[in-house]
Amino acid sequence: MDALKLIAQDSLKAEVPSFDVGDSVRVHVKIKEGDRERIQVFEGTVIAKKHGGVAETFTVRRVSHGCGVERVFPLHSPSVDKVEVIRQGRVRRAKLYYLRDRVGKAAKVKSKIR
Protein backbone atom coordinates (compact mmCIF):
# COMPACT_ATOMS: atom_id res chain seq x y z
CA MET A 1 0.00 0.00 0.00
CA ASP A 2 2.87 2.36 0.76
CA ALA A 3 4.35 1.77 -2.70
CA LEU A 4 1.05 2.86 -4.28
CA LYS A 5 1.06 6.01 -2.16
CA LEU A 6 4.62 6.82 -3.26
CA ILE A 7 3.71 6.41 -6.93
CA ALA A 8 0.63 8.60 -6.44
CA GLN A 9 2.70 11.30 -4.70
CA ASP A 10 5.09 11.44 -7.68
CA SER A 11 2.28 12.01 -10.18
CA LEU A 12 0.68 14.90 -8.24
CA LYS A 13 1.17 18.37 -9.70
CA ALA A 14 3.33 20.75 -7.69
CA GLU A 15 1.19 23.84 -8.32
CA VAL A 16 -2.52 23.09 -8.09
CA PRO A 17 -4.84 26.06 -8.66
CA SER A 18 -7.24 26.78 -5.83
CA PHE A 19 -10.86 27.01 -6.95
CA ASP A 20 -14.16 25.86 -5.53
CA VAL A 21 -17.56 24.74 -6.75
CA GLY A 22 -19.47 27.68 -8.24
CA ASP A 23 -16.39 29.46 -9.61
CA SER A 24 -16.18 30.40 -13.28
CA VAL A 25 -12.98 28.95 -14.68
CA ARG A 26 -11.07 28.81 -17.94
CA VAL A 27 -9.39 25.41 -18.44
CA HIS A 28 -6.51 25.14 -20.94
CA VAL A 29 -6.39 21.57 -22.28
CA LYS A 30 -3.71 20.04 -24.49
CA ILE A 31 -5.27 18.37 -27.54
CA LYS A 32 -3.17 15.97 -29.60
CA GLU A 33 -4.06 15.76 -33.31
CA GLY A 34 -1.75 13.36 -35.10
CA ASP A 35 1.79 14.52 -34.39
CA ARG A 36 0.75 18.08 -33.57
CA GLU A 37 -0.36 19.43 -30.20
CA ARG A 38 -2.48 22.49 -29.50
CA ILE A 39 -4.21 24.09 -26.52
CA GLN A 40 -8.00 24.30 -26.40
CA VAL A 41 -9.78 26.54 -23.89
CA PHE A 42 -12.97 25.40 -22.15
CA GLU A 43 -14.72 28.06 -20.09
CA GLY A 44 -17.62 27.51 -17.71
CA THR A 45 -18.84 27.03 -14.15
CA VAL A 46 -17.45 24.35 -11.85
CA ILE A 47 -20.47 22.26 -10.77
CA ALA A 48 -18.66 19.43 -8.95
CA LYS A 49 -15.36 18.34 -7.44
CA LYS A 50 -14.87 14.65 -6.71
CA HIS A 51 -12.41 12.31 -5.01
CA GLY A 52 -9.05 13.49 -3.77
CA GLY A 53 -5.35 12.96 -4.24
CA VAL A 54 -4.23 11.73 -7.63
CA ALA A 55 -7.77 10.81 -8.75
CA GLU A 56 -9.29 14.25 -8.10
CA THR A 57 -11.62 15.47 -10.86
CA PHE A 58 -13.76 18.54 -11.45
CA THR A 59 -16.75 19.03 -13.75
CA VAL A 60 -17.16 22.23 -15.76
CA ARG A 61 -20.47 23.18 -17.39
CA ARG A 62 -21.26 25.77 -20.01
CA VAL A 63 -24.08 26.46 -22.45
CA SER A 64 -22.91 26.40 -26.05
CA HIS A 65 -25.38 27.38 -28.81
CA GLY A 66 -28.32 26.68 -26.49
CA CYS A 67 -27.07 23.22 -25.55
CA GLY A 68 -25.54 22.42 -22.16
CA VAL A 69 -22.05 20.95 -22.35
CA GLU A 70 -20.30 19.35 -19.38
CA ARG A 71 -16.75 18.14 -19.29
CA VAL A 72 -14.90 16.27 -16.56
CA PHE A 73 -11.22 17.08 -16.10
CA PRO A 74 -8.69 15.18 -13.97
CA LEU A 75 -6.97 17.84 -11.87
CA HIS A 76 -3.49 16.28 -11.90
CA SER A 77 -3.55 15.19 -15.55
CA PRO A 78 -0.68 16.33 -17.79
CA SER A 79 -3.27 17.17 -20.47
CA VAL A 80 -4.69 19.97 -18.27
CA ASP A 81 -2.23 22.79 -18.89
CA LYS A 82 -3.64 25.40 -16.51
CA VAL A 83 -6.84 26.50 -14.81
CA GLU A 84 -7.64 30.21 -14.54
CA VAL A 85 -10.29 31.45 -12.11
CA ILE A 86 -12.35 34.16 -13.82
CA ARG A 87 -14.73 34.92 -10.95
CA GLN A 88 -15.63 33.32 -7.65
CA GLY A 89 -19.18 32.16 -7.05
CA ARG A 90 -21.21 32.20 -3.86
CA VAL A 91 -22.91 28.84 -3.38
CA ARG A 92 -24.18 26.77 -0.46
CA ARG A 93 -23.93 23.32 -2.03
CA ALA A 94 -21.06 20.94 -2.76
CA LYS A 95 -22.61 19.83 -6.07
CA LEU A 96 -24.53 22.17 -8.39
CA TYR A 97 -26.37 19.55 -10.43
CA TYR A 98 -29.56 21.60 -10.12
CA LEU A 99 -28.14 24.03 -12.71
CA ARG A 100 -28.80 21.37 -15.37
CA ASP A 101 -32.54 21.98 -15.10
CA ARG A 102 -32.30 25.75 -15.25
CA VAL A 103 -32.33 27.93 -18.37
CA GLY A 104 -31.12 31.48 -19.00
CA LYS A 105 -30.44 33.82 -16.11
CA ALA A 106 -31.75 31.28 -13.60
CA ALA A 107 -28.69 29.12 -14.37
CA LYS A 108 -26.29 31.85 -13.18
CA VAL A 109 -24.35 31.65 -9.93
CA LYS A 110 -24.13 34.76 -7.77
CA SER A 111 -20.71 36.36 -7.49
CA LYS A 112 -18.82 36.39 -4.21
CA ILE A 113 -18.32 39.86 -2.77
CA ARG A 114 -14.68 40.39 -1.81
Average pLDDT of the chain, as a whole number: 93
| 11 vs 97, higher pLDDT | 97
pLDDT at 13 over 80: yes
Q: Summarize the confidence of residues 72-78 as an average pLDDT.
A: 94
The whole-model pTM stands at 0.90
Cα separation, 17 vs 75, in Å, equals: 9
pLDDT at 57 over 90: yes
**The CATH number of the domain covering residues in 2-103:** 2.30.30.790
Cα separation, 107 vs 100, in Å, equals: 8
For the chain, what percent of residues have pLDDT higher than 70? Answer: 99
Cα separation, 21 vs 8, in Å, equals: 24
Q: Quick count: other Cβ atoms within 10 Å of Cβ 61?
A: 18
3-class DSSP state of 34:
coil
Query: Residue ranges of the domains in the chain?
Result: 2-103
Q: Quick count: other Cβ atoms within 10 Å of Cβ 19?
A: 19
Q: Summarize the confidence of residues 57-84 as an average pLDDT.
A: 95
For the chain, what percent of residues have pLDDT higher than 90? Answer: 77
pLDDT at 102 over 80: yes
End-to-end CA distance of the chain, in Å?
A: 43
